[in-house]
Structure 1
Amino acid sequence: MDLQSAAPDLELETLSRRYAAAIDHRDIAGLLSVFAADATMRVEQPGHKVGHLSGHRELEHIIKVVNRFSRTAHVLGQSLFQVDGDRAEGEVYCTAHHFSSSASGSGHDLVMHIRYIDRYAIGQDLSWRIVHRSVLVDATEERRVQGDW
């Protein structure tokens, strides 16, 4: 993506907002609605094997992965996009919090500092969808937190 010509785009940014909300609310239908039916995802995280998901059937497993946490909160940061007709690419920053708790009310927050590198296309319904998402986890940290989830 050419950063000199990249710009904000509300429609494309909205896809990432809907993605984040769907994960935090454990909404499989909402999650799948942002992806093309044959979309792919690549996940790169330091110290882990690169993961690959393909199509809605595999993408819905994202919800099962986050279900091991009591709560999640995805906070989106800056985003830039480059639109070319019915295709686009973009980069979206995210800080994702993954909370777990103990009976004592104390818990942990696994914080992931993420960049989503996306490719988009306009579907038959004339709406944008993610056709490929690379999830690049730049760093993780563990924080001790108080909470009753």
Structure 2
Amino acid sequence: MNPAALQRLADRIELQELVVRYANAIDRRDFDALDAVFTPDAYIDYRAMGGIDGPYPAVKQWLPQALQHFPAYMHFVGNCEFAIDGDAATGRIACFNPMVVPRPEGGTDTMFLGLWYVDEYRRTAGGWRIGRRAEEKCYDFNMPAWMKKALKL
């Protein structure tokens, strides 16, 4: 294999690992681990699924507060599509996101969210990082009506 092909393969593997690192950090509620996922000046837009948008530090601060209401959740990512151009890349990543939701009357239920992450990446001295991430809604299943109303979805 020639050096350029090896570099493309190495970049793709590192980008896939970056996407998985993000999902695992969120699911472990290890929000400080996101510092090795995003660039310090990253812009994140979670509005498509009812969240906020803004600079990475503000969104990082918001995440623990927003996710504290869910006893459990999981991000399963795949269908990774990357376009790599030197030290920049874009990506479209599928995410299946089941979340346990407390019921107002007691107990819990599980909803399923399907979304795409639409990303821009930059190669940094520490490796690839996400410089921009936006969610694109695909579907929600079993989302409680009270939550849809509160999120204005």
Normalising by the residue count of structure 2, what TM-score does the alignment of the two structures yield?
Answer: 0.76
- Once the two structures are TM-superposed, the CA of residue 89 in structure 1 deviates from its matched residue by 0.4
Q: Matched residue of 1:129: which SS?
A: strand
Is 2:37 aligned against 1:34? yes
CA shift digits 1:32-55 (9 cap, x unpaired): 320000100112427x5x731213
Aligned residues with identical type, % of pairs: 26
Q: How many residues align?
A: 134
Whose strand proportion is higher, 1 or 2?
A: 1
Aligned residue in 2 for 1:64: 65
Whose helix proportion is higher, 1 or 2?
A: 2
Q: Pairwise CA RMSD of aligned residues?
A: 2.6
Aligned residue in 1 for 2:21: 18
Q: CA contact under 8 A between 1:45 and 1:138: conserved in structure 2?
A: no
Matched residues in 2 for 1:60 and 1:129: separation? Answer: 19
User: What is the 5 A alignment of 1:1-149?
Assistant: 9-45=12-48, 51-101=52-102, 107-125=108-126, 127-142=127-142
* Deviant stretches of 4+, over 3 Å: none
CA shift digits 1:52-108 (9 cap, x unpaired): 121324333223211210011111121110111110001100011111357xx9521
**Residue ranges of structure 1 left out of the alignment (5+ in a row):** 1-6, 144-149
Matched residues in 1 for 2:44 and 2:117: separation? Answer: 10
